[in-house]
Amino acid sequence: MSGPMIKIQNLNKWYGDFHVLKDVNLDVQKSEKIVICGPSGSGKSTLIRCMNRLEIHQKGSLIVDGIELTDDVKNLEIVRREVGMVFQHFNLFPHLTILENLTLAPRWVRKMSKKDAVELAMHYLERVQISEQAHKYPGQLSGGQQQRVAIARSLCMKPKIMLFDEPTSALDPEMVKEVLDVMVSLADDGMTMLCVTHEMGFAKSVADRVIFMDAGTIVEENNPEDFFSNPQHERTKEFLGQILH
Amino acid sequence: MSNSIDWFKKNLFNGWLNSVLTVVCFYLVIKFGAGVIQWLFIDSVWEGTSQTCRQADGACLVFIKEKFLFILFGFYPREIIWRPITGVFIFCLLLFLTMNRKFWSKKLIYGWFLSFIVMAILLKGGVLGFVPVDSDKWGGLPLTLILATVGLIFSYPLGILLALGRRSEMPIIKSFSVIYIEIIRGVPLISVLFMSSVVFPLFLPEGMVINKVFRAQVAIIMFISAYMAEVVRGGLQAIPKGQYEAAQALGLGYWQSMVKIILPQALRVVIPPTVNTAIGMFKDTSLVIIIALFDLMYTTKASLQDPNWLGFTLEAYAFVACIYFIFCFSMSRFSQRLEADIKSKQEH
Amino acid sequence: MNASFLRDARNRAIIFQIMAILIIFFIGNFLYSNVSANLERQNIASGFGFFSKEAGFEIAETMINYGSQDSYLKALAVGALNTIKVSLIGNIFAIILGIIVGVMRLSSNWMIEKLSKGYIEVIRNIPLLLQLYFVYAIFVDIFPSVRQALNPFYGVYLSNRGVVIPSISDHVANNWIFLAHFVGLVGSFFWFKKCNKIFEETGVMKARYLPSLFFIFIPPLLVWGGFGFPLTWDIPQLTGFNFSGGITISPEFSSLLVGLVLYTSAFNAEIVRSGINSVKKGQIEAASALGLKPRLTLSLVVLPQALRVIIPPLTSQVLNLTKNSSLAVAIAYPDFLNVSNTALNQTGQAIEVITLVIIVYLSFSLISSLFMNWYNKKVALVER
> pLDDT, tens digit, for every residue of A147-194?
999 999 999 999 999 999 999 999 999 999 999 999 999 999 999 999
Instruction: Transcribe B135-162 into DSSP letters.
Output: GGG--BHHHHHHHHHHHHHHHHHHHHHH
Instruction: Transcribe B51-103 into DSSP letters.
Output: HHHHHSSS-BHHHHHHHHHHHHHTT--GGGTHHHHHHHHHHHHHHHHHTSGGG
The answer to whether the CB atoms of C291 and A154 lie below 8 A apart is no
The whole-number average pLDDT for the span C327-346 is 91
Asked if residue B249 lies in contact with residue B179, where contact means CB atoms within 8 angstroms, the answer is no
Please give the share of chain B, as a percent, with pLDDT higher than 70. Answer: 95
- Per DSSP, the three-state class of A53 is coil
Q: Which of C1-5, C39-43, C224-228 has the lowest mean pLDDT?
A: C1-5
Question: Rounded to whole angstroms, what are the CA distances from C157 to A33, A106, C148?
Answer: 73, 55, 10
Residues B187 and B293 in one domain: yes
Contact B22/C at CB under 8 A: yes
Contact A114/C at CB under 8 A: yes
The answer to whether the CB atoms of B186 and C366 lie below 8 A apart is yes
The answer to whether the CB atoms of A52 and C202 lie below 8 A apart is no
Residue spans of beta strands (DSSP E) within A123-216 = 161-165, 192-196, 209-214
Please give the share of chain B, as a percent, with pLDDT higher than 90. Answer: 28
Instruction: Judge whether residue A114 has pLDDT over 80.
Output: yes
Question: Rounded to whole angstroms, what are the CA distances from A150 to A108, A128, A130, A138, C168?
Answer: 18, 10, 11, 10, 57
Asked if residue A153 lies in contact with residue A93, where contact means CB atoms within 8 angstroms, the answer is no
- C383 to chain A: nearest residue by CA? A139
The whole-number average pLDDT for the span C100-119 is 88
ipTM surpasses cut 0.85: yes
Residues B8 and B71 in one domain: no
Rounded CA separation B24/C115 (Å): 12
pLDDT of residue C3: 59
pLDDT of residue C202: 87
Q: Helix %, strand %, coil % for chain A, to 5?
A: 40, 25, 35
The whole-number average pLDDT for the span C352-370 is 90
pLDDT of residue C252: 93
Residue B105 lies in a domain: no
Residue B90 lies in a domain: no
Asked if residue C328 lies in contact with residue C252, where contact means CB atoms within 8 angstroms, the answer is yes
The CATH number of whichever domain residue B65 belongs to comes to 1.10.3720.10
Residue in B4, B22, B227, B327 to test binding to C, most C beta-carbons within 10 Å? B4
Query: Which candidate from B12, B190, B297 shows the least CB-CB separation from C337?
Result: B190
The answer to whether the CB atoms of C112 and B21 lie below 8 A apart is yes
What residues contact residue A211 under an 8 Å CB cut-off, 6+ apart?
A26, A34, A35, A36, A37, A218, A220, A221
Rounded CA separation C333/B291 (Å): 17
Residues B143 and B284 in one domain: yes
C364 against B58, higher pLDDT: C364
Q: Give chain C's largest Cα–Cα span.
A: 97
Q: Is the dihedral of CA B111, B116, B121, B123 positive or negative?
A: positive
User: How many contacts, defined by CB atoms under 8 Å, are there between A and C?
Assistant: 91
Which residue range(s) make up the domain with B36? 1-42
Name the band, by pLDDT with cuts 50, 70 and 90, for residue C244: confident
Query: Which candidate from A112, A136, A157 shows the least CB-CB separation from C291?
Result: A157
Query: Which candidate from C201, C291, C382 shows the least CB-CB separation from A139?
Result: C382
A14-23 long-range contacts (CB < 8 A, ≥24 apart) are: A14/A58, A19/A216, A20/A46, A20/A216, A21/A46, A21/A47, A21/A50, A21/A57, A21/A216, A22/A215, A22/A216, A22/A217, A23/A60, A23/A217
The answer to whether the CB atoms of C365 and B186 lie below 8 A apart is yes
Rounded CA separation C47/B22 (Å): 64
User: How many contacts, defined by CB atoms under 8 Å, are there between B and C?
Assistant: 181
DSSP state of C234: E
C175 against A56, higher pLDDT: A56
Tally of domains within chain B: 2
Residues B32 and B52 in one domain: no
Residues B166 and B29 in one domain: no
Residues B53 and B33 in one domain: no
Mean pLDDT by 10 residues, chain B (348 residues): 59 68 86 88 80 78 86 87 88 87 80 87 80 81 91 95 92 92 93 86 77 90 95 89 82 84 86 90 92 89 86 88 94 87 69
Residue B87 lies in a domain: no
Residues in chain A: 245
Residue in B28, B202, B279, B336 to test binding to C, most C beta-carbons within 10 Å? B202
Rounded CA separation A61/A7 (Å): 8
pLDDT of residue B2: 44
Contact B205/C at CB under 8 A: yes
Residue B4 lies in a domain: yes
Residue B106 lies in a domain: no
Portion 94-113 of A in contact with C at CB < 8 A = 94-95, 104-105, 107-113
Which residue type, as a one-letter code, is found at position C251?
A: P
Residue B50 lies in a domain: yes
Rounded CA separation B184/B180 (Å): 6
Residues B33 and B158 in one domain: no
Rounded CA separation C190/C195 (Å): 9
Residues B32 and B72 in one domain: no
The answer to whether the CB atoms of A109 and C291 lie below 8 A apart is yes
Rounded CA separation B63/B305 (Å): 12
The whole-number average pLDDT for the span C300-327 is 92
pLDDT of residue B3: 55
Asked if residue A115 lies in contact with residue A123, where contact means CB atoms within 8 angstroms, the answer is no
Contact B20/C at CB under 8 A: no
Residue B68 lies in a domain: yes
The answer to whether the CB atoms of B188 and C337 lie below 8 A apart is yes
Contact A185/C at CB under 8 A: no
The whole-number average pLDDT for the span A8-13 is 95
Contacts of C329 in chain B (CB under 8 A): 190, 290
Radius of gyration of chain C (CA): 28
pLDDT digits (tens, 9 = 90+) for A125-147: 999 999 999 999 999 999 999 99
pLDDT of residue B348: 45
Question: Rounded to whole angstroms, what are the CA distances from B111 to A45, B107, B114, B145, C60?
Answer: 53, 6, 5, 17, 53
HSE-CB at B40 with a 13 A cutoff on CA atoms is 11
pLDDT of residue B196: 86
Task: Tell me the average pLDDT of chain A.
Answer: 92
Rounded CA separation A26/A192 (Å): 14
Residues B141 and B286 in one domain: yes
Rounded CA separation A146/A165 (Å): 15
Residue spans of beta strands (DSSP E) within chain C = 150-153, 156-159, 162-165, 167-168, 233-234, 237-239, 242-244, 247-249
- Per DSSP, the three-state class of A57 is coil
Residue B86 lies in a domain: no
Residues B198 and B339 in one domain: yes
Contacts of C308 in chain A (CB under 8 A): 95
Q: Is the dihedral of CA A229, A233, A239, A245 positive or negative?
A: positive
Task: Tell me the average pLDDT of chain C.
Answer: 87
Residues B50 and B11 in one domain: no
Q: Give chain B's largest Cα–Cα span.
A: 79
B26 against A32, higher pLDDT: A32
Contact A74/C at CB under 8 A: no
CA distance B3 to chain C (A): 5
Which residue type, as a one-letter code, is found at position C164?
A: V
Query: Which candidate from B204, B205, B283 shows the least CB-CB separation from C127?
Result: B283
Residues B252 and B143 in one domain: yes
The answer to whether the CB atoms of A93 and C289 lie below 8 A apart is no
Name the band, by pLDDT with cuts 50, 70 and 90, for residue A121: very high
DSSP state of A26: E
Name the band, by pLDDT with cuts 50, 70 and 90, for residue C2: low
The whole-number average pLDDT for the span A27-44 is 93
The whole-number average pLDDT for the span C296-302 is 91
Question: Rounded to whole angstroms, what are the CA distances from B318 to B64, C137, C142?
Answer: 10, 12, 15
- Per DSSP, the three-state class of C376 is helix
Q: How far apart are the first and last CA of chain B?
A: 13
pLDDT digits (tens, 9 = 90+) for C37-65: 887 777 777 777 778 888 888 888 888 88
